[in-house]
Structure 1
Amino acid sequence: MDEEWSITRLAKASGVTVRTLRHYDAVGLLPADRIGAGGVRHYTPASALRLQRILLLRGLGLALSEIAAVVDEEKDAAEALRTHLTGLLAERRRVDRLVETVAATIAHLEGERDMALEELFDGVDPARQAVHEAELVDRFGEEARQHIEESRRRTAGWDRARAGGAVAEYEAVEDAAVELIGAGVAPDDPRAVELMDRQYRAVSAFWTPNRASFTGLGRMYADSPDFRARYDAKHPRLADFLCAAMAAYAEQRLG
């Protein structure tokens, strides 16, 4: 590792915004190690590791004050990461089960294999869906409740093939986003914005978001512990990338 990075370099590497890093500095969660020319903040490898732990804990739904207490008390960084890794591996296993269920369902519909009734629901958690719906209503009020009801009406007549296709499209968009992250593409890059058009159409199969609700959905991906754990299992920057890219798409293309 280099000896230190500017705030811009750390923001790009971590997927968080410069504004967020400045806020973390202001509240004492992640103080800059050095202030350079022009007031530019610089960070050492130790601070980069601290930021990683902060983002992992944020993915678990902790408030910033709670995160500060945890990272300040952690003496053994490796042991702390082992704890986080355990949770991430559990979520990856759950996602892997869902992937296997969708793949098996496609094979079943194409006549390649038979599925028992119980197999159709392997990895599917109705209680988790109810939590997500309640979180949407808490965040966005009555409009979110209307979107949920709209989604139920639209999907009421779907067969298994239609439902499996919708899930597969979400997975494809996420995989494409991971490729963009790996290529160093910024969330507001035209390639990312174009991918979010595909994300918008995938969401619109269930309900039709406007600028505010599509942006809010992206924020929920980044803020919700369940969503962050799911996306972190694919890439540690995926949730924040989707959040920022959806906001850029909404700003540029939605009224």
Structure 2
Amino acid sequence: MIHELAARAGVTSRTLRHYDRIGLVAPTRVGANGYRYYGPDAVVRLQRVLLMRRLGMGLSAIAQVLSEEVDQEQGLVDHVAELEAERDRIDRRIRSVRHTLEALRSGAEPHMDVMLDGFNDRFEDEVVARWGEKAFRAGHDWWHGKSLEEQRAWKQEVDDLVAAWVDTHRSGAGPVSERAQAMAARHVEWLSGIPGTPTAEGDRERSIAMVRGLGDLYVDDPAFTGTYDGPEGAAFVRDALHEYARTAM
């Protein structure tokens, strides 16, 4: 009956009557006494209306979606995907705020990129385009599952890796030298510690493509060019990685 359904759905009887009037959710049957009865199909439809309302859709847009839909089961699958995506966004924001709180409690100054994670991720589109949504999600969850101190330690490891590359380049060693190839092996081992990457998953062909692609990125992206001691240093890292991918992977 309408009062029982309204109570369970967290809406009012008036809302359900309104949904009936505009063709969103009709009762399964109306008794001779005027009571409205809702069967399983009607409840499923109400659930979908409420889900779309929670996602911010207006009633007219919801009506259009439902009227154009052919497969109700597929519609539910789509809803699950939307809700999971929303849950992931909320989880990211929770982690972001927790990191900010942790930084403030420890007396550290919270960094903007940590504070705003979950609200904007500048690398998402690029990672998804190159290696897929699964790789981005695995790496993202791994990174933001770390404490602030663990993140700092990992960033220090990256700084040490970059510094070692710069020292190797400045030493005059060539890209195919033993020292440069040892650096390339260290670089690939570092990549293997990042969940979601082909190297972490042991996918040889994609790992080779990834290592070569990163080498190219270090040269093509001005941000990395500066990181690796200018254009010559970036080209040195690229050539060493390409050689390692060709001969050792």
Identify the TM-score tier after normalising by the shorter chain: 0.3 to 0.5
TM-score, structure 2 length as denominator? 0.46
Higher relative contact order (CA 8 A, sep 6+): 1
